[in-house]
Amino acid sequence: ISLVFFFHSSVSHRFIAKPCALGLKVQANGPQKAQPNAILEKVFTAITKHPDEKRLEGLSKQLDWDVRSIQRWFRQRRNQEKPSTLTKFCESMWRFTFYLYIFTYGVRFLKKTPWLWNTRQCWNGYPYQPLMPDLHYYYIVELSFYWSLMFSQFIDIKRKDFGIMFTHHIVTVTLITFSYVTNLTRVGTLTLCLHDAADVVLEAAKMANYCKCQKLSDLLFLSFAIVFIVSRLGIYPLWILNTTLFELYESLGNFPALWVFNVLLVVLQILHCFWSYLIIKAAYKAISKGKVAKDDRSDIESSSDEEETVPRSKTPHSTITTNGTGGANGTNGYLTGGTCSEEH
């Protein structure tokens, strides 16, 4: 099923998300390209993508560029390998579609179950609880999706919290698998549905941002912040952790699976706290500056507003021509004016 998700993602990107993105006038061009330079390119590809101060000074003397211009070149060269806004929109649209579907399915399934309204029902008759077809489907689809995310993370858009996200995927896959094997599926369905709620709003906020609908994007991001913090720092510990740490022990006593399950759930809560800190910081910027300026998970490296885009030589040059393009206007068809855009 994980392979089916990979295939469906590719088909969705090409035949659904891409036409929608183009219809919404999402930019198809990638980040601005760095001015071609054989010496800097050799250092970038063979030695380091983040030169230290000593190397920067050496390159400055060799090229007759100031250090700041060389730093700018390396930043643009790193950003050059990042995906286009169109690619990021397609990825978010695919995830939004899945999260919306699976969250809707989870709500429709859980509203018919007794353990939604009374978490003690999660433990009645355990471990001899029947595995209903709807519950089995819910689990298999969620597990397959997170397996696909764990592997696709290496080829999808790289973000600053790659390590944290990879840890999250491992914990999630382990939790889903462990709860399925030990038949702790009732509380598992509550956990899955609770986590999907915030992800729907987050992907919608990203798509609005890629479409340059700033007000809608800010509104959705603040809505996401509220939903995330309420669900992950409020409902999750008071509803999920309360029943697994206390009600489960009261109903069934002590057994090894209980401790393994709770350790994984607590690790998940620690990740929630870390992300809540980042979200609160971004929300504070939104309130203080009037808009969400930048999230700590941005794919594009930040650049100073006062920096120019084209590297400046210490000696004046009237025109720098590269591949038939004037350096004052751009290189390889990319305009050089303006700074790299930021995103949620």
Q: Give a yes or no: residue 309 inside a domain.
A: no
Indicate whether 171 and 36 sit together in one domain. no
Indicate whether 211 and 151 sit together in one domain. yes
Q: What is the structure's pLDDT at 36?
A: 86
Q: Give a yes or no: residue 64 inside a domain.
A: yes
Q: What is the structure's pLDDT at 55?
A: 87
Cα distance between residue 168 and residue 270, in whole Å: 10
What's the chain's length in residues?
A: 344
Among 58, 81, 104, identify where a domain stops.
81
Cα distance between residue 259 and residue 263, in whole Å: 6
Q: Give a yes or no: residue 4 inside a domain.
A: no
Q: Give a yes or no: residue 339 inside a domain.
A: no
pLDDT value at 344 more than 50:
no
Indicate whether 102 and 147 sit together in one domain. yes
Indicate whether 193 and 262 sit together in one domain. yes
Q: Which residue range forms the structural domain that includes residue 176? A: 85-289
| Closest-CA residue to 300 (of 340, 245, 339) | 340
Question: Would the pTM of this model clear 0.75, i.e. be above it?
Answer: no
Are 115 and 121 in contact, with CB atoms under 8 Å apart?
yes
H/E element, 268: helix 256-289
Amino acid of residue 6: F
Among 239, 268, 289, identify where a domain stops.
289
Q: Give a yes or no: residue 7 inside a domain.
A: no
Indicate whether 73 and 89 sit together in one domain. no
Cα distance between residue 200 and residue 206, in whole Å: 10
Amino acid of residue 91: E
- Write the pLDDT tens digit of every residue in 80-134: 777 778 888 888 888 999 999 999 999 999 999 999 999 999 999 998 999 999 9
pLDDT value at 192 more than 70:
yes
pLDDT value at 231 more than 80:
yes
Indicate whether 164 and 208 sit together in one domain. yes
Are 297 and 20 in contact, with CB atoms under 8 Å apart?
no
Q: What is the structure's pLDDT at 125?
A: 92
Indicate whether 154 and 77 sit together in one domain. no
Indicate whether 90 and 74 sit together in one domain. no
CATH of the domain at 53: 1.10.10.60
Indicate whether 125 and 225 sit together in one domain. yes
pLDDT value at 10 more than 60:
no
Are 299 and 158 in contact, with CB atoms under 8 Å apart?
yes
Task: Label residues 50-59 b or e (16+ Cβ within 10 Å = b).
Answer: ebeeeebeeb
Are 236 and 119 in contact, with CB atoms under 8 Å apart?
no
Structure tokens at 140: 């298999």
Cα distance between residue 259 and residue 246, in whole Å: 12
Which of the two residues, 290 and 88, has the higher pLDDT score?
A: 88
- Write the pLDDT tens digit of every residue in 262-280: 999 999 999 999 999 989 9
Are 282 and 225 in contact, with CB atoms under 8 Å apart?
yes
Indicate whether 263 and 178 sit together in one domain. yes
Q: What's the rounded mean pLDDT across residues 225-241?
A: 96
Cα distance between residue 76 and residue 78, in whole Å: 5
Among 256, 271, 289, identify where a domain stops.
289
The model's confidence at residue 155, banded by pLDDT at 50, 70 and 90, is: low
Cα distance between residue 251 and residue 253, in whole Å: 6
Number of domains within the chain:
2
Q: Give a yes or no: residue 306 inside a domain.
A: no
Indicate whether 280 and 171 sit together in one domain. yes
Q: Give a yes or no: residue 19 inside a domain.
A: no
Counting residues of the chain whose pLDDT is more than 90, the rounded percentage is 40
SS3 331: strand
Structure tokens at 218: 């800010």
Q: Are strands 325-326 and 321-322 parallel, antiparallel or unpaired?
A: antiparallel
Q: Give a yes or no: residue 334 inside a domain.
A: no
Indicate whether 270 and 131 sit together in one domain. yes
